[in-house]
Every structure is written in C-alpha cells, then in structure tokens.
Amino acid sequence: MPGSDPVHYRSVDFPRGDLWVFTYGSLMWDPGFAHIAAEPGLLRGYHRAFCIYSSRYRGTATKPGLVLGLDPGGACKGIVYRIAAADKTVALEALWQREMRRGVYLPRLLPVLTPGGQRNALAFVANRTHSGYAGRMAIDDAARIIAMCCGERGPNVDYLVNTLCHLDALGVNDQHLDQLLARVRACGKGAA
C-alpha cells in the first residue's frame, strides 16, 4: 500500500522548546494532549477537506467514512495549541498513535498566523499518494458516505457537526461544510 509506512516523530526535526500544533478537525475539540495555550490560527496554502477515508474512527474497513485532511490550495482557520517542552514527547506519542498509524497524513512544520504572531506549527497534511486519500469528490457522494458511516468514535455525521460547532465558536463560516451538512441531513430524510 503506497504511503503505508508512516514517518516516526523522532525523525522529524522539531524546534527546541515548546511545540505548536495546528488543528483543523477533531483535534480542535478533542486534542488528546496536554497544552498550555490555545490561539486561533490561519494556515495559508492548504484548505480543510473531507479527503481522508476513515476505516476506524468514523467508519469501518468494509464501510469507510470520511474525515478531514489538509489539501493544497486556499487557506484554513483552526486552533493552534502550545505544548510545553516538558510534555512534548508524551504529546507526540499520542498524536502519532492517533494521526499517523496508517501514514495517511504527512507531518509538516508550517507557518501559522495567530493573534500572538506567526507560529511554526506541526500540521498533518493529507498524503495524496496513500490509498486512504479519497481526493476531491462530489458533494453528494461525500454526503452519502458521511450520512451512512459510523466507527469507534461514533457516527461520521457527528464529526462534521462538531467541526462546524467549533468553527462557529472561532467565528469561521465554512460554507462548503454547511452545504455538506445540509446534504447529509437530506440523505438521512431520504433513508427514513
């Protein structure tokens, strides 16, 4: 499987001291690591997209759901968490266990604009060569998948709704995700 051998965090050249992590999906509301600060952040050059198949957390191996990845182009608003240097190893272990198990993401240190200035932050970018990369799909196809799938962390639609709630709290209006949720809800009505 292309891209199935994920990079280990020890091979990434992280800066000394505290570490910043840019989050744009489930890590916004459930980071799973200790942090000492959080700020809204803007990452240019990538956009948030339902472009990753989830065969565990939001789907199964036989019925994969969809989760977010960072795909090239545009910009993405999210939350940047600051991890204390003393907690960095434990946080990276947790992040790698959650995000890097399949190698469907590529860890990158990218410049993120925050109210406190520019931060060089760890971000998980979609690995376009991986078989788990769904690519760009029609909104109705994505909506059908999200409406029907469920995994270890619950229904796929909950992931979409939680993302929208947290973006709303940041003052971010993502029209594409709003349209996607409307289509998901329409799929649910059609199935009833």
Catalytically active residues are: 99
Per DSSP, what are the bridge partners of residue 19?
A: 83
Please give the structure tokens belonging to residue 168.
């709303």
Max distance between CA atoms of the chain, in angstroms, equals 54
Quick one: angle between helices 175-191 and 139-148, nearest 10? 60
Element (H, E) at 79: strand 65-83
The neighbour count for residue 174, using CB atoms within 10 Å, is: 17
